Structure 1
C-alpha cells in the first residue's frame, strides 16, 4: 500500500531535496509552498504524514498545525531553522508529533518519518491492542475506541499523547525512563531523538488531564528516573 507524504515549505530547494529522499524510499510525495496550500491538500487528499515548515507565508506552520489538528490526527513533523528550546515546545504544543531542525541530516529526517509511520500503523490496527478500558479514579482510557475521558469530559489527545498515556496507565506503578517511553511508543531506538520531545508530550498530556499540571494527580515524575502512573 502506497504512503503519501505532504511536504510544506516555502523554500523550493528544501522541498526538492526532501522530495528526492522520500521518493527514494518509495513514498508518494505532495508539495505545498505555504500553510494555506497544505490545509487545502489535507482536505483533498489522503495523506499519511506531513512535514511542515514553521516559517511560511500566508499561513505559518504553527497556525497550520493547529488547524490541521482540528480535522486530522495525521502524524506531523515540524521543520524549522530555529533551534531554541522554546520553539520546539511551541511546535509540539500545537499538536506536532516530532521536530527536526534545519540544516537537517537526511538520515535523521528519514528515520523520523519511518518512526512516525510505524507508530501510526501500530495505532490504527485495533487487533494490536486489547479491547478494554483502564479506569484510574476519574480517568478512563478506552483502548478499543481510542478515547480518553477525565471527570466525564472527553479529552482530545494526539495519537502520540494517547500512546504515552496508555503505556503508563497499562503499567501502573512502573517507572518509565524517557528512553524507554520513546522506544515503547515510537517502536524503535533512535539515535536522533531528543529527550525534550518526550518531555513536552508529557507536559501536554498533563495540561489536558490534570486539574493542576504542576501538582499532577495521575502522571507522576520520579526525579532522575522517569515517569509513572500510580495505582
Structure 2
C-alpha cells in the first residue's frame, strides 16, 4: 500500500486506488504511472522516464498521451482538477507527486 494523498491509497497488489469505501480499479497504464510517481514522491520525474516505465520500449505514447493519463488520474485523486495539489507539472520537464495535501 502506498499513500497517494490524504484521501487516497494505492493497493499495489490489486491495482486499486482506495478512499475509504470508494475503490477505483485502474488500467495497467494508470497504475504504472501513479506507482512510478508514488515511489519517487517529491522527486520530479521526466516525461520520457514516465513513458518508458508505463509503456516500455513501445513507441505508443507521446507527451500528449501521457497528459491525458495524468488528467484522468487527477480527476480521480484531486479535489480540484484545475488546481492540483498532489500531481504537479514540472514545467518543461515532467511531473512530481507531492506531500502537499
TM range (shorter): 0.7 to 0.9
1:220 counterpart residue number: 88
**TM-score by structure 1 length?**
0.39
CA distance in 1 between partners of 2:71 and 2:79 (Å) = 13
3-state SS of paired residue (2:45): coil
Superposed, 1:120-199 pairs within 5 Å as 133-135=1-3, 136-150=5-19, 152-188=21-57, 190=59, 193-199=61-67
Contact 1:155–1:209 (CA under 8 A) maintained in structure 2: no
What do you get for the CA RMSD once the two structures are aligned?
A: 1.7
CA distance in 2 between partners of 1:218 and 1:151 (Å) = 18
Contact 1:157–1:205 (CA under 8 A) maintained in structure 2: no
Gaps of 5+ in 2: none
* Higher helix fraction (1 or 2): 1
Cα distance change, pair 165–229 in 1 and its aligned pair in 2 (3 A): same
Q: How many residues align?
A: 98
1:205 has 2:73 as partner: yes
Deviation of 1:194 after TM superposition, in Å, equals 2.0
**TM-score by structure 2 length?**
0.84
CA distance in 2 between partners of 1:152 and 1:137 (Å) = 15
Deviation of 1:168 after TM superposition, in Å, equals 0.3
The runs of at least 4 aligned residues of structure 1 exceeding 2 Å deviation read: none
CA distance in 2 between partners of 1:163 and 1:169 (Å) = 10
CA distance in 1 between partners of 2:25 and 2:14 (Å) = 13
CA distance in 2 between partners of 1:218 and 1:155 (Å) = 17
Deviation of 1:189 after TM superposition, in Å, equals 6.2
